Amino acid sequence: MPEPEEEARPGRATRVAKLPPRERILDAAEELFHAEGIRGVGVQAVADRAGTTKAALYRHFGTKDALVAQWLLIVAADYVAAFDRVEERWPDEPLAQIRGVAAFVVDTLSTVSHRGCPFINSLAELPDRDHPARQVIETHKARQLARLTAMCAAAGLTDPEDAAAEITFVFEGAQVSVQNGSVDRVGERLVAFVEAVLVRHGA
Amino acid sequence: MPEPEEEARPGRATRVAKLPPRERILDAAEELFHAEGIRGVGVQAVADRAGTTKAALYRHFGTKDALVAQWLLIVAADYVAAFDRVEERWPDEPLAQIRGVAAFVVDTLSTVSHRGCPFINSLAELPDRDHPARQVIETHKARQLARLTAMCAAAGLTDPEDAAAEITFVFEGAQVSVQNGSVDRVGERLVAFVEAVLVRHGA
DNA sequence: CTTGTGTGATACCGATCGGTACCAGCTAGG
DNA sequence: CCTAGCTGGTACCGATCGGTATCACACAAG
């Protein structure tokens, strides 16, 4: 235990150490929003967790809604990075890329534990269609589907749109199922299911 | 227009007419919780919409959390009724039953429009695992999966558990996808996808 | 040294939250 | 007729919400 007083020091950083306040706030937002839900976390709690104050938070983001949008932008960037990684690792092997993406989703299933997908959860918490975070979610989902469709097309699957849509169903369904705990061995089932979709579409 | 002053009369019922207060409150809760999210609706708003008061609401339910649980119990009962209906309509035809359930889910997709599944949304809004509504959700999901598994077994599918889990993935994935609007023609895709699952498992 | 900027801290704002107490009026049962 | 119980209406409680203002202090650049 390298930091015996991590939580003890009163006004000091609960966060790693001395990242700039903006990063600390985003990290804290990531943890708290995902764990407790957007509406379940106050700005004061985020500032406390980041080892800073509400004033600094509002100086950087102006609004809680804007902070939520920034947080989801970062989460979306993680997915983009995952797609980039599989494309870099298996160039000209679209089937391997699709399997790589599926493996990434399986990974997030465990790390995300019982709290599900941030996008799905945020969508449930933000019924207002004009909320700034909604646009982040929608463009992310659209981009992800487009990229998946491109992979399916490159793999020579019959009807790539259908295949990508089905894979998306499986991804979302797996995230939800692991959240509500109704289905066991979700990871294995996801991989097997995606494989079946590929086979059925002519892989 | 039979009721020209439906919204005009101040303290009068916005609800249908003269159902007992408890039913009116549950109806109002159904509408508002689903449309705006649990945490986005105050008890005062529910009471107003039901044409009654907070006092009456707390007299009947004691707690907002209890009201949420009661609401989800009703939603779950709708699903149970749908399963009952298909079993009654196609006795000894498990495949037709499964297709009937899928058709029911497709129906809910449109009625539920862009606000998704109440269970998924509520799960996102209630991170507390001890919340009374969580138990309602979990037992409902478990029962639904068990019933689906039984249908798959009765249909003679190889590995009924796998088939039921996959169908569940498709259901949940479809609900989420229609909510975030990333995929189009969700209903058709759902039906086709379920059919493929049945075929692949030996239907 | 001085100036300027961003920080942490605190106090405060109006609004709304879940929940309670109290009261007047209606209706049903004796 | 009179009592009992449920209703709707309102006022209120403490707590928390998102957001703003103010202030002293640190530190880097001129």
Instruction: Give Rg (Cα) of chain A.
Output: 19
Calculate mean pLDDT across residues B125-152: 96
Of A119, A114, A118, A101, the residue nearest A170 (C-alpha): A101
| Distance, Å, B59 CA → C28 C1' | 20
Q: Which nucleotides of D are covered by protein (CB under 7 A)?
A: 6-11, 16-23
Domains of chain A in start order, with CATH, are: 1-62 (1.10.10.60), 72-200 (1.10.357.10)
Compare CB distances from A168 to B142, B181, B183 and report the shortest one's residue: B183
Q: Which helix (H) or strand (E) holds A92?
A: none
Distance CA(A79)–CA(A105), nearest Å, equals 9
CA triple A149-A150-A153, angle to 5 deg: 85
Nearest nt (C1') to A58 (CA)?
D19
State the nearest Cα–Cα gap between B176 and chain A, in angstroms.
Answer: 7
The confidence band for B10, taking pLDDT boundaries of 50, 70 and 90, is very low
Please judge whether B172 and A176 are an interchain contact, meaning their C-beta atoms are less than 8 angstroms apart: yes
Mean pLDDT score, B114-141: 95
Between positions 134 and 153 of A, the ones with CB within 8 A of B are 137-138, 141-142, 144-145
> Among partner residues A36, A124, A174, which is closest to B37 by beta-carbon distance?
A124
Taking CB atoms and an 8 Å limit, are A37 and B125 in contact across chains?
Answer: yes
- Spatial contact of B99 and B194, defined as CB atoms under 8 Å apart: yes
A164-172 mean pLDDT = 97
Q: Do B164 and B154 form a contact (C-beta atoms < 8 A)?
A: no
Q: How far does the CA of B27 sit from the C1' of D1, in Å?
A: 39
Q: How confident is the model at residue B118 (pLDDT cuts 50, 70, 90)?
A: very high
Mean pLDDT of A27-40: 96
- Tell the residue number behind the tokens 């006004």, with chain if given: A11
Give the model confidence (pLDDT) of A72-81 as tens digits.
999 999 999 9
Give me the mean pLDDT over the B136-164 stretch: 97
Per-residue model confidence (pLDDT) at position B89: 98
Tokens of A50: 């980041």
Structure tokens of B62?
């004691």
Does the CB of B180 have a partner CB in chain A at under 8 Å?
yes
Residues of chain B in contact with residue A190, where contact means CB-CB under 8 angstroms, are 169
